[in-house]
Amino acid sequence: MVSISDGQCGACAHFGGDHANDQQLVQIRISHQAEPDMVQPCGLPDNAAHALKVSPLSGCDGFTAAKVA
C-alpha cells in the first residue's frame, strides 16, 4: 500500500470514471491508502475522451478533490 495525497488521482472525484462510487475507490479516498499497481479510468471529460487510465499515484491539472462522507 502507498499513501495518497491531495492532487493525486486516488483522491480525485474523477478516479474510476463511471465506477467512482465503487466501495474500493471510496475506501481509498477515506484511508488515503491504495495498492500502487491498480489502474482505473479517469472520468474527467477531456481525459475520458482519450480513454485515459491512471494509477492512484498519477495526477493532472484537472484534479478535483473527492468528497468524503
Residues near ligand SF4 (CB under 6 A) are: 9, 12, 14-15, 42, 44, 47, 54, 58-60, 62-63
CA distances from 1 to 22, 25, 26, 28, 34 (A): 18, 14, 15, 10, 5
Q: Shortest Cβ distance from residue 34 to ligand SF4 (Å)?
A: 12
- CA distance linking residue 29 with residue 6, whole number of Å: 10
User: By C-beta, is 1 or 53 nearer to ligand SF4?
Assistant: 53
End-to-end Cα distance, the chain: 22
User: By C-beta, is 1 or 39 nearer to ligand SF4?
Assistant: 39
User: By C-beta, is 31 or 45 nearer to ligand SF4?
Assistant: 45
Are the beta carbons of 1 and 55 closer than 8 angstroms? no
Q: Shortest Cβ distance from residue 6 to ligand SF4 (Å)?
A: 10
